Amino acid sequence: MTSTSNNAQQNDPVRTAGSEGAQLCVATYPGPFQCSLCGFISVTGHNFMEHVNRHGLRSEFACSKCSRRFPTVNSVGVHYTRWRRGLPPSPPPEQPGPATSSAEPSWPCRDCSMTFTTKTGCQLHRRNAHPAEHALDQPRERRPRWSEFEFLALAEIEASLPANTPNLRETLIAELFTRHGIRRNLVMIKGQRRKARYKALVERLKQQLATEIGREVSRHLSDVVEEHTSTGSTLADNSNPMATDVNQLEEVLTAGELSSEVVVELTGLAERALSGENILDSTAESGA
């Protein structure tokens, strides 16, 4: 009887993204990391590895100090940190040889006298027995800096919002992404709003916005008074013409997102103008 295994077709295994047979894409640490296939640039190693995997390539990271290559961004980060601190770099991994029963431990712990036969065992020991020292060796990816455009965009959004907006920081995050496609978290928003330069910028933008709205209101009042004067309209011509014009003015003020106090004051000014009082000089002075 012929074995079915002899009839099985011998095919090469399919090469998948990240496998040993995949084409290699090497980036220099500490970055930025650039894809050699399409030129994509990332400031974080994790995003770079995900991008390279989508191309079906295998990623490696080369130390900019000694050109030694590592398979992950964490391993090259630990190595690079020792170079930066003036410590001797970690020894290169030994080539696997024939297993022997008398193999000596080859991975000593840098923080105590213990030794281990594998690098993984040594790292697990340091993470559990020396967590503080182990944390110092882990690379920390920096948060992206705020550009001047992003800084100004955040200030403009906050200046345009009403003063009593609930959940202001969450609203700023949503508006920043909706208007400009910029993603920032609560900690980043909080850090910018603490700066004295940011606070001064928001106040200046609010004053500019209030001045522009005041000028629009003045122009609207001028048009209303001029219309009533030119047509010679009186209260008898309409059952309540003043209420109609005041309602239109309230819609304009509400669209400008002013505070309730300002809306009441400007509405009262409109009623005075519609009653025949000349307020153009006072409104022009306040808008100047």
Whether 41 is covered by a domain: the verdict is: yes
Q: Is there a domain that residue 3 lies in?
A: no
* Cα–Cα distance for residue pair 128/264, rounded to 1 Å: 66
Q: Number of folded domains in the chain?
A: 4
Q: What are the tens digits of pLDDT across the range 34-44?
A: 887 888 888 78
> In this structure, are 158 and 136 located in the same domain?
no
Q: Is the pTM of this model over 0.75?
A: no
Q: Which among 9-23, 27-41, 84-98 has the top mean pLDDT? A: 27-41
Q: Are 29 and 63 in contact (CB under 8 A)?
A: yes
Residues 170 and 237 occupy one common structural domain: no
Paired strand residues for 63: 29
Answer whether residue 224 is part of any domain: yes
pLDDT band at residue 172 under the 50/70/90 scheme? very high
The mean per-residue pLDDT over the stretch 5-11 comes to: 44
Range of the domain at 65: 18-89
Q: Are residues 130 and 169 located together in one domain of the fold?
A: no
Q: In the predicted model, is pLDDT for residue 191 greater than 80? A: yes
Q: Give a yes or no: residue 177 inside a domain.
A: yes
At residue 32, the 3 state secondary structure works out as coil
β-partners of residue 27 are: 61
What's the number of CA atoms in the CB half-sphere (13 Å) around residue 232? 0
**Residue 245: inside a domain:** yes
Distance CA 60, CA 28 (A): 9
Q: Could you give the residue ranges of the DSSP H alpha helices within the chain?
A: 4-7, 45-54, 73-84, 119-129, 131-136, 148-160, 168-180, 186-193, 196-231, 241-255, 260-274, 280-287
Residue 170 lies in a domain: yes
Same domain membership, residue 223 and residue 180: no
With beta carbons less than 8 A apart as the criterion, state whether 172 and 189 touch. yes
